[in-house]
Structure 1
Amino acid sequence: MNLVNRRAVLKFEDDEGKVVVPKTKSLIKDSSEIYRDLIAKFRASGLPLEVDFRTLVEWVKLGDQYTHQIHTYPAKLIPHIANFFVKASTLFKNEKAVLDPFCGSGTVALEASLAGCTPYVSDSNPLALLITKVKTTNYDVQELSEELQAITYRCKRYRSAPEIAIVNSNLWYSAERKKALEIILRAVMEVKGNEIRDFFRVCFSVTAKRFSNADPAISVPVRLKTRERFSDATNNKIISKLKWLEESSPLQEFVRISLANIERVASANRFNSDRASASIISRDARRLACDSLGTKNFQVPLIVTSPPYGSAQKYIRSSSISLNWLGLIEPDKLTVLEDQSIGREHAPKFRRVMPQGELPDSYEDVVGKIKAKNELRGFITRQYLLEMKDALAEMARVTSENGHIVIVTGNNQVCNETLRNDEFIVTILTSLGLNLELSLIDHIKSRGLMTKRNRTASVISRESVLVFSK
């Protein structure tokens, strides 16, 4: 099936054939009716439907909502997509549970939690798991406020703190600024309870990133500085930011960030005070529920996820400063963590042995063409496809009978060769006995998603939302 070149434009019509907007309440309880309507239209046309989830899911507000914005993260899934599927009761029979095996910063987990589902997550990036856990935890707001006061008091008393090893530290921090941040971290790490400590670790991570010399407009760390090719307006903004870094107080900013995040928690509490926090079942999407939790027979009725693309976003590099600050990985171990990630961006030459395994013929051809142009990209692309194949098989395994898998993906180019991630997913999952129940196309409007991942890749401006039934 060609999922891009042929498509149907989604329309809702009344009895007279006039286009109408689906009726929804400000806080819709169930999106099943819209979901069934989409399936009927997809079956009738046999073509992917073009939708705008921001319009379709009009009950989700744009911008800062609940705890979605407690910490930045590259290429975040818009909450509208997650919200739409977790609120479709037709996708649940007995158990209301949702799994995101590539959870990132927890957009799906939070929407599932707020909708009254039990969220399960997996991700190879420990920072992603930390943010997701904090984002979905129902904290006592008063307790957070009191602990913030205690942290602030300790920070004002301390004159020293353990030195933290940061990758390329001299590029990102002056000695004075780094010491001020280390004192804050010392005070945070002395918080007694693990959950509350983790909340303030996330707040500290935001502060440490904000006070680095890294350009906030670029997900991976790139030193912020004026350049001749920039416009005067851009350079003036950079000068202003650099001046702010020199004049502002890290402690005051930490308090401001913490208060803002406490209010976000309060907002989520008001919406659903009984929401469940995310349970981490694995750190590898290729081996779900096979860790020390003893949940090998784990199954869920619904998976909603957005896997990394081939030549993917630089998730580990973009997280490197926070990973080091929080003690989640040492600077010289970042490449080890990247090696555990699907969609990695590097493959050092001494480890470059073409991965073995079977791929569909058309993808063998694509990999061959990429390899002929760039051996490294050929290696990375083949490894990505094989690892995604394993991850898809694992998703199919843990999906309950009559359950569903929702995958948000996009197509990109590697060395001017189109990598059809959507068709690859359809080919693999249908070969495993799943049925493509719905195919949607949504255009990406967030600049945070429309980024080049490396110089041989392309910008992704549209995504496919594929729904499979088991």
Structure 2
Amino acid sequence: MTIKDASILWGISERRISKLCNQNRIEGAIKFGWSWAIPHNTEKPLDGRCKKCKVRTSNSNTETPCEDLVILRKWAMPNKNTFKIKPIQELIKSELTSGLWIDPFANENKLATITNDLNPVFNTDYHLDALDFLKLFENESVDGVLYDPPYSPRQVSECYNDVGYNVTWDTTKASFWSNHKKEIARILKKGGKVITFGWNSGGIGKTYGFKTTKILLVPHGGWHNDTICTVEIKQENIYYEETKTMRQVTRNNNNDLALINWINNLPDNFWDFKANDTKELTHGFHTYPATMIYPISRNIINKVKELYNIDTLFDPFSGSGTVSVEGVIANIPHIYATDLNPLSVLLTKVKTTPISSKDLIYWQDFVKMEIESKLHEMSNIFLELDNYIEKQGLDIYDKDGWGSEASIILETFFKETEIAFTVPNFTNIGYWFKPKVILQIQVIKDTIDKITDTQVKDFFMVAFSETIRIVSNKRNGEFKMYRMEKKKLSDFNPNVQNVFFTIVNQNIEKMNEFNFRLYNNGNSVVESIFDDARVLDNIPDNSVDLIVTSPPYGDSRTTVAYGEFSKLSLQWIGLNNYWLNINRIDKHLLGGKTFSNGFEFHLISPTLEQALNVISEQDIKRSGDVFSFYSDLNLCLNKCSKKSKKDTYQFWVVGNRTVKGVYLRTDQILVELAKEHHLHHVTTFTRNIHNKVMPTLNSPSNEKGKTVPTMTNEFIVVLRKI
């Protein structure tokens, strides 16, 4: 063959081949006059300019030669069409093999067998989004891919804007490229080749089973970035094999079948419990938002106990402590309950701790006598304070003045009247409480602090917390911080002492009922722990026999604000010994992290991905809120799986909400996420909601005046650790 033929075959210049012939570096080459003849079977000579790279191994300090990696550097003028840059053109021609080659970003190039470009201006076989184009091909059906995507988010935006497409988080974040890589790894045959072009040499990557064989650096001079071309060979079907593994069907075992049969044979509406007294026993100690009613966990625990022995029960979202109370009633030896709300930790502890009627009555008499005596002493002080506020020209209904400076005003008043009395200093205390109410609350708090029995003291603190909720200026039908209207507030004059003792009397009766229910079985060890369900440092791995829990329906900012609901109680009680700021509890709960500028979707849930795509078209920030919640929920699944023993059950009570008009199927998303964490989906069943403390309307679009009914049913997803 001639030098020209060899140039085309080998992908190097005619001048370079002529020089190699003159240097006797091409075996069998014969010169005839001014021309050279080269045997057809002659192999391309090695490029002496290429250096063998050295790779440092991960487990030693030694360097080993990487015999197969070739690195080239060839200067060329820049060109908007990458494939028209001469060294790149030569590289492609030398690396192309027979078989099916595809090009998802072809532009005007025709080097691949099947071409695609989103812009209809170019004469390609398809005009699809690159990801949709790649999804057209079957697993391991392609021999080669030319992958020349936009190199940066700015270039992505330009490409989409050129064809009139909206730019979303999914088209400008790292997921834009990572999603392509996943698909390329899926469709490429083992031994197939990918040539990637960009500003880095990452290529498809070792993660997906690819080995880099050649890197071409093309500098363009001046301020231009080098164009980097990476040639890779697929050595393993890592991504595809993992996907198949995740999709393997895990068959239901005998316990699964027994559980499913039991659920299917229950009467209609069995799980609704509309007629039940959901406040019986210690369950009725304290109001709490979106509480899972006790008959759900009671029936689940009793049924699972028939299937296997339960030594350890766990609720990672303890809330008001419902599951733990039922665990104690069921005489389960060890119970873990975790929550990031300090009030939840206190409620669970008190509700599950039996206290004798004798002790409670003794301390009740003490507290009552102390409070009545102190309030009698202060009767004149209440009148003096009213006169003082009137003389100062303060309006107790204003947010400024009394509302924001009540602590300072009261401190000044007591100093001028030479009265020894201290009230807490937290933000806007006067906005949430009237003057007399503040003093009465503090009298009760000071009295409770005198109780020497820790368990009894906590018992009275729970009653105190519920009292604060009732006597505050907050609208009691809300779990967020909204104050009563001024007209209603002027007529609102609660008798704090009476409210407190009414709750105490009620809770003592409920504690007596709880003790009676336990008989001689109250041997459970309950650990109510301040812990994050995404971390669970305090729960041993492989220790849990049953998980029953009800996670939040969504982020606290737009659903149930547990932190706001608890804020006033926590400030008065003084639970400040935790690492988080009481005012920012909701920021630390699931979905508290914000993604205002987009995010990379990495969760294995097609249902969620599809929903986020629709939401993001309307509001990228809102889609980030939704993603944040499910990303955190995925972390919880991972940790809960690690804490569970093999072949034990998890019952997740969830609700499906609506965001921006998009119905979020949390039950299905949970099932899809669970697969990654070795959790087999056994079954899902539903219940109608009648008893939860929730609003009847909400605003899924966060637009004033636009409301829809809140969820009316819940889904109970049953998983088994495999």
CA contact (8 A) 1:91 1:302 kept: no
Aligned residue number for residue 561 of structure 2? 314
1:46-79 CA-to-partner distances (Å, cap 9, x unmatched) read xx99743145xx9x94243101110000011111
Bigger relative contact order, structure 1 or 2, given CA contacts below 8 A and separation 6+?
1
CA spacing shift, 1:296–1:282, aligned 2, 3 Å? farther
CA spacing shift, 1:283–1:215, aligned 2, 3 Å? same
Aligned residue number for residue 342 of structure 1? 590
> In the alignment, is residue 75 of structure 1 matched against residue 290 of structure 2?
yes
| 2:331 aligned counterpart, secondary structure | coil
**Aligned pairs, number:** 409
- Report the residue type matching 2:622 in the other structure: R
Aligned residue number for residue 102 of structure 1? 317
CA contact (8 A) 1:119 1:278 kept: yes
CA spacing shift, 1:212–1:263, aligned 2, 3 Å? same
Q: Which runs of 5+ in 1 are unaligned?
A: 1-33, 228-237
Give the fraction of aligned pairs with identical amino acids, expressed as a percent: 24
Aligned residue number for residue 31 of structure 1? none
CA spacing shift, 1:463–1:50, aligned 2, 3 Å? farther
CA spacing shift, 1:220–1:40, aligned 2, 3 Å? same
Distance 2:315 2:463 in 1: 24
Distance 1:38 1:301 in 2: 16
- Report the residue type matching 1:339 in the other structure: K
1:67-121 CA-to-partner distances (Å, cap 9, x unmatched) read 1110000011111111111112446634432111011101111111111123210
- Report the residue type matching 1:337 in the other structure: I
Distance 2:474 2:529 in 1: 33
Distance 1:341 1:136 in 2: 24
CA contact (8 A) 2:545 2:644 kept: yes
> In the alignment, is residue 439 of structure 1 matched against residue 660 of structure 2?
no
CA contact (8 A) 2:345 2:529 kept: no
2:430 aligned to which of 163, 167, 170: 170
> In the alignment, is residue 297 of structure 1 matched against residue 541 of structure 2?
yes
- Report the residue type matching 1:315 in the other structure: Y
Q: Which runs of 5+ in 2 are unaligned?
A: 1-254, 379-419, 703-707
Aligned-residue offset at 1:436: 1.7
CA spacing shift, 1:178–1:97, aligned 2, 3 Å? same
After the TM superposition, which of the residue ranges 147-156 and 398-407 deviates more from structure 2? 147-156
- Report the residue type matching 2:459 in the other structure: F
Aligned residue number for residue 407 of structure 1? 652
Distance 2:599 2:268 in 1: 36
Aligned residue number for residue 112 of structure 1? 327
- Report the residue type matching 2:590 in the other structure: I
1:365-414 CA-to-partner distances (Å, cap 9, x unmatched) read 42243233233322211111111000011111111111100001111111
CA contact (8 A) 1:92 1:302 kept: no
1:147-199 CA-to-partner distances (Å, cap 9, x unmatched) read 12212222234456431234432222111110110111011122112221111
Aligned residue number for residue 632 of structure 2? 387
1:129 aligned to which of 342, 345, 349: 345
CA contact (8 A) 1:50 1:441 kept: no
Distance 2:697 2:561 in 1: 10
Equivalent residues in 2 for 1:20-39, closer than 5 Å = 39=260
Distance 1:355 1:148 in 2: 55
Distance 2:600 2:448 in 1: 46
Aligned residue number for residue 268 of structure 1? 514
Aligned residue number for residue 573 of structure 2? 326
CA contact (8 A) 2:637 2:677 kept: no
1:258-313 CA-to-partner distances (Å, cap 9, x unmatched) read 1110110000000004333631245100112x14xxx5335111000011122431
| 1:428 aligned counterpart, secondary structure | helix
CA spacing shift, 1:220–1:177, aligned 2, 3 Å? same
CA contact (8 A) 1:122 1:284 kept: yes
Distance 2:298 2:499 in 1: 32
> In the alignment, is residue 464 of structure 1 matched against residue 709 of structure 2?
no
CA contact (8 A) 1:162 1:186 kept: no
CA spacing shift, 1:282–1:212, aligned 2, 3 Å? closer
Aligned residue number for residue 143 of structure 1? 359
- Report the residue type matching 2:547 in the other structure: I
CA spacing shift, 1:428–1:141, aligned 2, 3 Å? same
> In the alignment, is residue 257 of structure 1 matched against residue 475 of structure 2?
no
TM-align CA RMSD: 3.0
Distance 1:450 1:176 in 2: 31
1:86 aligned to which of 301, 305, 309: 301
